[in-house]
A and B are shown apart, each in its own frame.
Chain A
Amino acid sequence: LLWKESWELGKNPMASKGSPLHGPRIKLIEKAQNLFAETKEHTFESKAAEEHAKLLRCQHDLEVSTKQAIFVDSSISDTIRTCIVLGNHRAALKVKNDFKVPEKRWYWLKVFALATIRDWDALEKF
Chain B
Amino acid sequence: MAQIPNLDNSPLNFSSLREQSQKDLLNILRNIRGNKCLIIDPKLSGSLAMIEPGVELRHLSVEPIQTEYTRVVYIVRSQLNLMKLISSHIKYDISKGLQRDYFVYFVPRRTVVCEKIFEEENVHHMLTIGEFPLYMIPLDEDVVSFELDMAYRVESDTSPLWHIAKSIHKLEFSFGVIPNVRAKGKASTRVADILNRMQVEEPVNSTDMGVPEIKTLILLDREVDMITPMCSQLTYEGLLDEFLHVNNGAVELEASVMGAQQDGKKIKVPLNSSDKLYKETRDLNFEVVVQVLRQKATSMKQDYTEMTTTTQTVSELKDFVKKLNSLPEMTRHINLAQHLSTFTSKASFLGQLDIEHTIVEGQSYDICFEYIEEMIHKQEPILRVLRLLVLFSVTNSGLTKKHFDHLRREILHSYGFEHMLTLCNLEKAGLFKKQDSKSNWLTIKHALKLVVEDDTANPKDISYVFSGYAPLSIRLVQHAVRSGWRSIEEILKLLPGPHSEFKRGGYPSISSSETLHAVPGNIDRASDGPRSLVLVVFIGGVTFAEISALRFLSAQHGMAYDLIVGTTKVVNGHTLLETFMDNVP
Which residues from chain A sit less than 8 Å from chain B, CB to CB? Answer: 9, 12-13, 16-17, 44-45, 48-49, 51-52, 55, 73-78, 99, 101-102, 104-105, 108-109, 112
What are the residues of chain A within 8 A of B405 when measuring CB–CB? 44
With A9-B424, A45-B420, A104-B373 in contact, do A77 and B379 touch (Cβ < 8 Å)?
Answer: yes
Q: How far is the CA of A107 from the CA of B238 in the complex (A)?
A: 37
B264 within 8 A of A: no
B409 within 8 A of A: yes
The answer, among A9, A13, A16, A77, for a CB contact under 8 Å with B413, is A77
Q: How far is the CA of A13 from the CA of B418 in the complex (A)?
A: 6
Question: Is B413 a contact partner of A99 (Cβ separation < 8 A)?
Answer: yes
The answer, among B373, B378, B416, for a CB contact under 8 Å with A75, is B416
Question: Is A51 a contact partner of B417 (Cβ separation < 8 A)?
Answer: yes
In the A-B complex, the 10 residue pairs with the closest CB atoms = A75-B416, A52-B417, A76-B413, A105-B377, A108-B377, A77-B414, A16-B418, A13-B583, A13-B421, A75-B415
**Would you give the shortest CB distance from A42 to chain B, in whole angstroms?**
10
B412 within 8 A of A: yes
Q: How far is the CA of A76 from the CA of B374 in the complex (A)?
A: 16
Question: Is B421 a contact partner of A76 (Cβ separation < 8 A)?
Answer: no
Nearest-neighbor residue (CB-CB) of B419 within chain A: A75
Q: How far is the CA of A49 from the CA of B423 in the complex (A)?
A: 14
Question: Is A75 a contact partner of B413 (Cβ separation < 8 A)?
Answer: yes
Looking at chain B, what size class is its interface with the partner chain? 20 to 34
Q: How far is the CA of A102 from the CA of B409 in the complex (A)?
A: 11
Question: Is A108 a contact partner of B378 (Cβ separation < 8 A)?
Answer: yes
What are the residues of chain A within 8 A of B585 when measuring CB–CB? 17
B8 within 8 A of A: no
Question: Is B409 a contact partner of A48 (Cβ separation < 8 A)?
Answer: yes
Nearest-neighbor residue (CB-CB) of B418 within chain A: A16
The answer, among A12, A49, A76, for a CB contact under 8 Å with B414, is A76
What are the residues of chain B within 8 A of A104 when measuring CB–CB? 373-374, 377
What are the residues of chain A within 8 A of B416 when measuring CB–CB? 73-75, 78
What are the residues of chain A within 8 A of B409 when measuring CB–CB? 44, 48
What are the residues of chain B within 8 A of A101 when measuring CB–CB? 413
Question: Is A75 a contact partner of B414 (Cβ separation < 8 A)?
Answer: yes
Question: Is B414 a contact partner of A105 (Cβ separation < 8 A)?
Answer: yes
Query: Can you list 12 contacts pairing A with B, beta carbon distance less than 8 Å?
Result: A9-B421, A12-B421, A16-B417, A17-B418, A48-B420, A51-B417, A52-B412, A73-B416, A77-B413, A77-B415, A101-B413, A104-B373
Nearest-neighbor residue (CB-CB) of B411 within chain A: A75
Question: Is A48 a contact partner of B418 (Cβ separation < 8 A)?
Answer: no
Q: How far is the CA of A55 from the CA of B415 in the complex (A)?
A: 13
1/0 per residue, CB under 8 A from A, across B456-476: the answer is 000000000000000000000
B110 within 8 A of A: no
**Would you give the shortest CB distance from A74 to chain B, in whole angstroms?**
7
Q: How far is the CA of A108 from the CA of B412 in the complex (A)?
A: 16
**Would you give the shortest CB distance from A22 to chain B, in whole angstroms?**
14
Among the interface residues B405, B417, B421, which one has the most CB atoms of the partner chain A within 10 A? B417
What are the residues of chain B within 8 A of A13 when measuring CB–CB? 418, 420-421, 583-584
What are the residues of chain B within 8 A of A17 when measuring CB–CB? 418, 585
B408 within 8 A of A: yes
Q: How far is the CA of A22 from the CA of B379 in the complex (A)?
A: 26
What are the residues of chain A within 8 A of B413 when measuring CB–CB? 75-77, 99, 101, 105
Among the interface residues A12, A48, A112, which one has the most CB atoms of the partner chain B within 10 A? A48
What are the residues of chain A within 8 A of B374 when measuring CB–CB? 104, 108
1/0 per residue, CB under 8 A from A, across B400-413: the answer is 00000100111011
What are the residues of chain A within 8 A of B378 when measuring CB–CB? 108, 112
Nearest-neighbor residue (CB-CB) of B376 within chain A: A105
Nearest-neighbor residue (CB-CB) of A107 within chain B: B377
Q: How far is the CA of A18 from the CA of B562 in the complex (A)?
A: 54
Q: How far is the CA of A29 from the CA of B226 in the complex (A)?
A: 33
What are the residues of chain B within 8 A of A78 when measuring CB–CB? 379, 416
Q: How far is the CA of A109 from the CA of B414 in the complex (A)?
A: 10
Q: How far is the CA of A84 from the CA of B543 in the complex (A)?
A: 42
Nearest-neighbor residue (CB-CB) of A77 within chain B: B414
Interface set, chain B 416-440, CB cutoff 8 A to A? 416-418, 420-421, 424
Nearest-neighbor residue (CB-CB) of B378 within chain A: A108
Q: How far is the CA of A112 from the CA of B405 in the complex (A)?
A: 25
**Would you give the shortest CB distance from A23 to chain B, in whole angstroms?**
18
What are the residues of chain B within 8 A of A9 when measuring CB–CB? 421, 424
What are the residues of chain B within 8 A of A51 when measuring CB–CB? 412, 417
Q: How far is the CA of A91 from the CA of B367 in the complex (A)?
A: 33
Nearest-neighbor residue (CB-CB) of B425 within chain A: A9
**Would you give the shortest CB distance from B106 to chain A, in whole angstroms?**
28
